[in-house]
Amino acid sequence: MILPNFCVFEGIDGTGTTTQIRELERRCREVAIPSWFTCEPTNGEIGRLIRRALSGEMPYSGDTMTRLFAADRGEHVWGIGGISDHLAAGELVVTDRYFFSSIAYQGSAGDRDLPFAANAGFPLPELLFFFDLDPDRAMDRVEGRGGDLEIYEKREFQKRVRDRYLEILPLFAENEPAMRVVTVDASLPIGEIAEIIWSETRKLPIFKR
C-alpha cells in the first residue's frame, strides 16, 4: 500500500539528508503547507534504546537490531500521533529514514531475509529520495563532524550498505510504480540539491489543493 503525501529520505551516513530535510521544512512553512517532519530511529522509548545500541553502549545481536527498528517503526507509523494520524489530518509527512534503512543496513550486517520479513507490513511512501554519494566522501564528512562514531559508521560497512541500497531500490521501484524513487547526487552544492528536492516534493498532491 502507498500512502499519499508521505515522503522518505534515505542514504548512507554523511550524505546530508538532515540538512536538506531542514531546508524542506523551512520552505513548507513559508508556503503554509501543513506538514510533519520526523525521523527514525524515533525519539520514543524504543528509539532511545536503539540510539544507545548505536553508540556501542549496548551490543545487541543483528537480529535484535532488526526487530528493535521494526518495533520503533510500528509505533512511528501506527502509534498515537504517528505518521498515519498526521496523514489522516491532511498533512505532508517527511521522515529522515524508513524501513529501506533496515533492509540496507541490517541486511548488510547480518541475515538478509529477516529485515524483509520484519518490515513486510509497512506501507510505502509516495516519494522516496535516495541520497547517493561515494562512501569514502560520505565517511570523510562523518569523521569531519568530530564526536564518537556509531557502530555502523565504518567505511567498509558503509560501502556494503550503499551497494545494498543500489540493489534493492530498483526492485521496489519496479514492483511499485506508484512510488516515485528520486536518486539525488549528494555531491552537488547544497542549494542545488534543495532545488531538486523542492521541485520533486511540490509534485505531491498536497501542493495541488
Output the smallest distance, CB 52 to ligand TYD, in A. 12
| Number of chain positions touching ligand TYD (CB under 6 A) | 14
Determine how many CB atoms are found less than 10 A away from the CB of residue 198: 15
Residue whose C-alpha is closest to residue 69's, from 29, 30, 35, 99:
99
Neighbours of 166 (CB within 10 A): 13
Quick check: 5 binds ligand TYD (CB under 6 A)?
no
Tell me whether residue 18 or residue 199 sits nearer to ligand TYD (CB atom).
Answer: 18
10 near ligand TYD, rule: CB under 6 A: no
Contact call for residue 152 and ligand TYD (CB under 6 A): yes
Query: Does residue 150 touch ligand TYD according to CB under 6 A?
Result: yes
Which one of the spans 99-107, 131-139, 165-173, 198-206 is the region binding ligand TYD (CB under 6 A)?
99-107
Q: What whole-number distance in Å separates Cα of residue 205 and Cα of residue 193?
A: 21
Minimal distance, residue 143 CB to ligand TYD, in Å: 13
Using CB under 6 A, pick the residue from 5, 15, 35, 101 that binds ligand TYD: 101
The rounded distance, in Å, linking the Cα atoms of 110 and 42 is 23
Nearest residue to ligand TYD, by Cβ distance, number only: 105
**Residue 38 phi, psi (nearest 5):** -145, 180
| Residue 165 · residue 99 · CB < 8 Å | no
- Which of 37, 105, 129, 157: binder of ligand TYD (CB under 6 A)? 105
Measured from the CB atom, the residue of 86 and 164 that comes closer to ligand TYD is 164
Q: How far is the CB of 31 from ligand TYD (least distance, A)?
A: 26
Nearest to 95 by CA among 81, 117, 114, 76: 76
User: Under rule CB under 6 A, which residues in 26-45 are in contact with ligand TYD?
Assistant: 40-41
Whole-number Å distance between alpha carbons of 30 and 51: 32
Residue 91 sits in the site that holds ligand TYD (CB under 6 A): no
Which amino acid, one-letter code, is at 185?
D
At its nearest, how many Å lie between ligand TYD and the CB of residue 193?
17
Phi, psi values for residue 79, rounded to 5°: -70, 165
Dihedral sign for Cα atoms in the order 85, 90, 91, 95: positive
Q: Which residues bind ligand TYD (CB under 6 A)?
A: 13, 18, 40-41, 54, 69, 96-97, 101-102, 105-106, 150, 152
